[in-house]
């Protein structure tokens, strides 16, 4: 599992990126609930499930430019139907304030 720093709404985000099939199937299960600017990014994905999740999450659909095109509040134990035009899916805290049009990009590194 990779951890990526991204710039997004409200500042810096800590984003987990699952790389293996097993990591993708597990998702946030077994991880602490995401904080206000923490999430898991499923690249090249249009749909996720929340089976085995203990708490609600926000399912955030992103386009190719990493802009939010839809936010769905999801209860545990559900399948989330794919969103047309989605390229990636972000799982964030259930009370996330992400909105349509918000964008993400890799964090800029500053030299010392």
Gap between the Cα atoms of 83 and 18, Å rounded: 20
pLDDT (tens digit, 9 = 90+) per residue, 53-69? Answer: 888 889 999 999 999 99
Could you tell me the two tokens for 41? 């990014």
pLDDT (tens digit, 9 = 90+) per residue, 93-102? Answer: 888 889 999 9
CB 71 within 8 A of CB 97: no
pTM across the whole model: 0.88
Give the chain's domains with CATH numbers.
2-106 (2.60.120.1140)
pLDDT (tens digit, 9 = 90+) per residue, 12-47? Answer: 999 999 999 999 988 888 777 888 899 999 999 988
């Amino acid at each position: 599992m990779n951890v990526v720093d991204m710039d997004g709404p409200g500042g810096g985000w800590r984003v987990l990126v699952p790389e293996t099939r097993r990591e993708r199937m597990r998702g946030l299960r077994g991880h602490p609930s995401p904080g206000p600017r923490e999430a898991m990014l499923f690249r090249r994905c249009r749909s996720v499930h929340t089976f085995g999740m203990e708490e609600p999450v926000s399912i955030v659909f992103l386009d190719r430019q990493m802009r939010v095109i839809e936010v769905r509040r999801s209860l545990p134990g559900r399948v989330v139907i794919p969103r047309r035009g989605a390229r990636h899916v972000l799982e964030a805290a259930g009370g996330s304030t992400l909105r349509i049009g918000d964008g993400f990009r890799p964090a800029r590194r500053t030299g010392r």
